[in-house]
Structure 1
Amino acid sequence: MISAEQVSALGFPQAIKALRDALAGGLDPEREPARSRVELGGGEILIMPSGDDRIAGIKLVGIAPGNPARGLPRIHGTYVLFDAPTLAPRAVLDGAALTILRTPAVSALGVDLVAPPDARELVVFGKGPQAYAHVEAIKAVRPIASVRMIGRHEGAGAHIETADIVACCTTAREPLFDGRLLKDDAVVVAVGSHEPEAREVDTETVRRCGALVESRQSAVREAGDLIQAGISEDELVTFADLVRGTTPARPRLIKTVGMGWEDLVIADAVVEALA
């Protein structure tokens, strides 16, 4: 079992590089199997498979909303990495730690692709593990000098008006701020929801900023922020588009839902680093 500490030790710069290299090398997120959800026990289990000719993997994530009241993490998980030709298991990794590394690394890659090089002021909605991990990941790609953490029920107002980057890392089901407050070049990251009925940003933000997504299919299936804003698939730009230079567009809303290929790429990088 590869521990949480060993997973985290890969670090954000290497995780970001692994994601970028995979996309540059031709990985196609549009061909990914869809995530499955099963309601069990005190919440739900997410099943996230991915693979290519060399490696395969699956993440099982348990999400129990009542856990924080019990003094337990909201999310638990396990990741199994296989040799693809034989399907012999290669490694078992701490799935929660992998998620805490993967999600901010994906966000930071998006920030690196679209944010102004001198972006310095960061506002983060949320005060949980993902919120703090996003601070570190974004610092790996931009010279952040000011960070303000805002609880989902706290006022944002003037802080939004001056922010270069706004990261939404909450379980909110309604928009966290008024998109009209954003600067014209502000970049927004929204990672909290993978449900069509939930969103962290309003329609104004989506329409002002456009949307950068992991894949068009996963976005129109799961990204409530975009679904509720009425965004169509052909309006979306993907990470692969920007990494490969196939479009001049630079959307300023980075909306992610989490995909199996991201876990696979980073889990492989962790195992290789430990070899």
Structure 2
Amino acid sequence: MTAPRTIDGAALRRALPMAAAIGALRAALRDGTDPESDPPRTVVPVEHGQLLLMPAHRLRYAGVKIATVAPANPAAGLPRVQGRYLLFDAPTLSPLALLDGIELTTVRTAAVSALAVDLLAGPEAGHLVLFGTGPQARGHLDALRVVRPLTRVTVVGRTPAHVERFAETARRDTGLPVAPGDPSAVATADLVACCTTARTPLFDGALLDPHATVTAVGSHEPDAREVDSVTVRRCTVVVESRAAAVREAGDLIPELAAGRLDRAALIPLADLATGAATVDRTRPRLFKSVGMAWEDLVVAGAAYEADAAEDA
């Protein structure tokens, strides 16, 4: 029996550029992937955080991500989220590859957001307001550049030194004007990406321009929010899955529970990708992502095929 292929973070990035990851997710939705059928995420509280288990199965592959969330780790210089992904051949359930789970998560989360933005935002969207300075923030900058002609990036964060460091690195790597800012910058934003661990809203939704598109990816916890009630009520709301959103989308759950947002009004991303639904472009758009196992599986499978092709 052949040992599973090992794909570390660098190999995954090399084998699967962001454009290819976005394309793989788009193709999966157009080919009939049903996010509503995804098994619920298993979350096990432990003394210093959480253990997460995310299995999925689709056509050629099955797989499972095992991840940990340790909120105190960054203070010790360690990643907040860690993990591995094990990919299996679907017909035999033989292990094919062991992938770096954190790079996989960074790529798939940003790629899903970019797919949503490509389906929701105006074609000339150029000003990105980016909340956060961690790996997801950088992943979103790289992914959104693939689908829209960014001309300006405003970075907002809690720690000025981190914001300035992020902006300096992003300027050097992308050649874009990237500068620190504050939450009021959303008033002139075409795109807003919320990539934080915040538990309370980051900005005043009344400031959003009607043409703005917002992505919120920071949490899958029902009591954590990056956007406020005003944002939710003003926006057309798009989700990966209605069932997952009702379980895990803390940005939406208060509005759903209060009856101010109807579950049936949530537009599944798959419906946009297949053309089964359209959005009202006279009001802002919000894509609330909680991260799902089918996304991990699609990106892991695409990375495995691309990595194997390099050796062929």
TM-score range, shorter chain: over 0.9
Larger gyration radius, structure 1 or structure 2: 2
Equivalenced residue count is: 275
Runs of at least 4 residues off by over 3 Å:
152-155
Q: CA deviation at 1:84?
A: 1.3
How much has 1:11 moved relative to structure 2? 1.3
Report the counterpart of residue 168 of structure 2 in structure 1: none
The one-letter code matched in structure 1 to 2:214 is V
1:37-186 mapped onto 2 (5 Å cutoff): 37-152=43-158, 156-186=182-212
Supply the distance in 2 between the matched residues of 1:184 and 1:248 (Cα, whole angstroms).
16
Matched position secondary structure for 1:92: strand
Aligned to 1:266: 299
What does residue 42 of structure 2 align with? 36
The CA deviation at 1:30 is 0.5
The alpha carbon displacement at 1:229 in A equals 2.0
- Residue of structure 1 in register with 2:251 after alignment: 225
- Is there any run of 5+ residues in structure 2 with no aligned partner, and where? 1-5, 161-180
With normalisation by structure 2, the TM-score equals 0.86
Unaligned runs of 5+ in 1: none
Q: Which of residues 242, 267, 276 in structure 2 aligns to 1:237? A: 267
Alignment RMSD, CA only? 1.3
- How far off its partner does 1:153 sit? 7.1
Kept after mapping to 1: 8 A contact 2:200/2:225: yes
Return the letter of the residue paired with 2:304: V
1:8 correspondence with 2:6: no
2:184/2:203 contact within 8 Å kept: no
CA displacement at 1:156 relative to structure 2: 2.7
TM-score (norm 1): 0.97
SS at 1:224's partner residue?
coil
Helix, strand or coil: the match of 2:148?
coil
**CA deviation after TM superposition for structure 1 residue 228, in Å:** 1.4
Deviation at 1:119, TM superposition (A): 0.2
- Give the conservation status (yes or no) of the 8 Å contact 2:43–2:53: yes
Structure 1 residues 96 and 157: alpha-carbon distance in aligned structure 2, compared to 1, 3 A threshold? closer
